Chain A
């Protein structure tokens, strides 16, 4: 009877090389990218043969060759020192510690792990006469170099972005937090994909129970494969029916590092340049990394600009529709005449006009995104010409509507996080329809409904709208405004630790007549520490 795959994987390795090879070849049948390379470990004494298995393309062939060289040439030396021909179980340990000490080797006994290792880019070396197998970490495939994060650009700040390799990504963060308390725990998710997932956090700063909660949710996932971190995001988020995103995804290592320092947990997923950060506050979607790297005044200013952009992109089109179709008395007279004269020839009600324009705007955005790059520009030119110019001249839409939609669109692009801007774009439509059908009543009610909905959401136990409501006075230093670093003495409320974030008397000042300068006082502080 044929064994099932699971049973085969459950086997342990046997001392006989041929048995093992047979089993492995059976398991990896029809896998043309798996390479079996035979070698002789020691031909003179006992004809110890060996075999090396790896997946082509996933390994660093140089490293494999090096290990093979070591096994073949140093094997003789090793066995020469062994007096008896009695090859016992110790052989594997000896080889590992004496010959292959240069390399990262694990000894395995189970077939399952060996297969997994081979398929994830490690190589295994099997020697005759021993039931242990060497798993060498020889991963080395072609990966995208570290580039500018395409979705989150900054003017001032680091330019490196995550790529598709898990290790590279964790390394990028580790380079920013060189503390033993910075922990990276590994796990695997996905029955078929067996995707590597790393959970990173700062021990002692992260809130109690948070890491456990993240692990619990990750362990609960049962899925065949994880292709991108988006899968994980959707499977662990708190409010699955909500348009709001409760998990922040970012391409920027600096953002991940600073989040971890604030006591959040980052989830790295292999093959995805997007790292997930939990718990997330809504306002984080409106905060860009630039805010922290430029001077605090400009940081605050840009942040407020972005908050205004958020309000505009959420409400402007609804307010316009509401004003023009219900509350005409609210428009200043001169403006009312201008709007009315523009609408004179438009055949649609304002709501339909607005929906039409919003739709064509989304269409243009989507088309520009999907088209191959050289064609994409043509699309946007044609689109803007048709929508901006021709539609107005033909009297299909009013010029003022075009302005409204354009301003709304530009504002939504000012929101630094793509997922965030998308959820705001989504909740704009119910608001638009409500204010187009019920006027102010609809607008106020739908706005309150959305507000209540957002208030009920929690992201991994944290209120989604914190620190605005519930109001956390100490966190206001980094919410609407960005206070200078020397002012942000305490950790945010989210963080567990009692340590201060910034030392005392950090405000720099020019040297006074007495001769004490900012630098000297800093040194005093550090020496005290």
Chain B
């Protein structure tokens, strides 16, 4: 029986895939560019995300039983297919670096300053290998737990920060001009890119093809809503200058949150919820990277490659997070170019190829009529 997940799970995966880094590191990167317009940038980026997911659904729908690798193979030949596998693997390798940067800088810098980085990197590795051994369905269900914890986390931060929120701080809209605000949204777009690439791989196993578009858009909208709360609070509570100052600015806000006079210092509860979400993201990244390697070597199952792939990813992330300054620099420059290039480039290419090779698509659909 083919493993299938529901559209709800797909939405949950999308939300989890984008959330952690977006609230953790992205806001600081954007605040360094556009100050207190980061919330507008975030909203812009969410709209771009909706467009992209819609495009993706259009592409995958042509051959609804095939993922992005099989698409490219059918459309433009085996070599192109392999190249796409490699590109996607590189994408997830890079993505894993940014995810681990988020994870490590949250956990290590604020909670376990004496722990060796290696330990903080190895523990998610063990968890991820264990989880993806059981396949997508378990991760998808974990993502539902993740969405629940994201909700709780948002509720907690809202309760804790609302009293300090100064709406006036949000006010000078487009202080640096509309163009620059849109341009800054590229940082957040890299987060969405992770969600698209994941969707490009797992969309074929999502049930009820006709609902893909709606589920995808809904996932992005909910994800965007959960995320946009953070820049608004960060600007309103911390001020844009302070946000820009820190590597992990959301943590700074979480640390100052207090409900009434007595309930403060509860950021650990928040970080525990956050950890569930980001660990789901780690698992999913492991899974996607493993699948791309599986397709690269045309294997039947991805399980044999789990450990090598995850080791490579973990090794890279260890190098990546070792130096705060370097990590942030890569995230803000090279990673933006790489992820945008791969994600948008690949999607557009496939979209155009689909028009050029319409016949191939048709022929293939005849050969393997959709069994749904």
Contacts and interface: CB of A to CB of B under 8 A. Distances in A.
Q: Do chains A and B touch in the complex (CB under 8 A)?
A: yes
Interface residues of A, number: 28
B218 interface: no
Contact of A448 (B119, B127, B266, B271): B127
Nearest to A332: B265
Interface string B256-284: 00000010111110011001100100000
Contacts of B6: 470
A330 B112 CA distance: 13
A423 interface: no
A438 B145 CA distance: 23
- Most chain B CB within 10 A, of A330, A331, A441, is at A441
Given A445-B124, A448-B275, A329 B265 contact: yes
Given A451-B145, A469-B141, A441 B266 contact: no
Contact of A439 (B111, B130, B142, B144): B111
B327 interface: no
Contacts of B130: 449, 452
- Most chain A CB within 10 A, of B120, B134, B142, B265, is at B265
A443 B111 contact: no
Interface string A455-473: 1100000010100111100
Contacts of B271: 440, 444
B363 interface: no
A327 interface: yes
A447 B127 CA distance: 10
A326 interface: yes
Contacts of A455: 134, 138, 141-142
Nearest to A471: B144
B111 A441 contact: yes
Contacts of A329: 265
A456 B9 contact: no
Interface string A309-350: 000000000000001001101111000000000000000000
Contacts of A468: 144
B279 A444 contact: yes
Contacts of A451: 142, 145, 276
A462 B8 CA distance: 18
A456 B134 contact: yes
B151 interface: no
Nearest to B144: A469
The SS class assigned to the B binding surface is: helix
A471 B123 CA distance: 28
Interface in A254-270: none
B271 to A, nearest CB: 7
A310 to B, nearest CB: 15
B348 interface: no
Contacts of A444: 271-272, 275-276, 279
Nearest to B8: A471
A445 B9 contact: no
B144 A470 contact: yes
Contacts of A323: 268
A439 B123 CA distance: 12
Given A441-B112, A455-B141, A330 B127 contact: no
A117 B276 CA distance: 59
A440 B268 contact: yes
Contacts of B268: 323, 327, 330, 440
B217 to A, nearest CB: 19
B272 A440 contact: yes
B265 A331 contact: yes
Contacts of B123: 438, 441-442, 445
A322 to B, nearest CB: 8
Interface in B133-156: 134, 138, 141-142, 144-145
Interface string B180-213: 0000000000000000000000000000000000
Contacts of A469: 141-142, 144-145
B344 interface: no
A470 B262 CA distance: 37
28 contacts: A323-B268, A327-B111, A330-B265, A330-B268, A332-B264, A332-B265, A438-B112, A438-B115, A439-B112, A440-B107, A440-B111, A440-B112, A440-B271, A441-B107, A441-B111, A441-B119, A441-B123, A444-B271, A444-B275, A444-B279, A447-B272, A448-B131, A448-B279, A449-B127, A451-B145, A452-B127, A452-B130, A455-B134
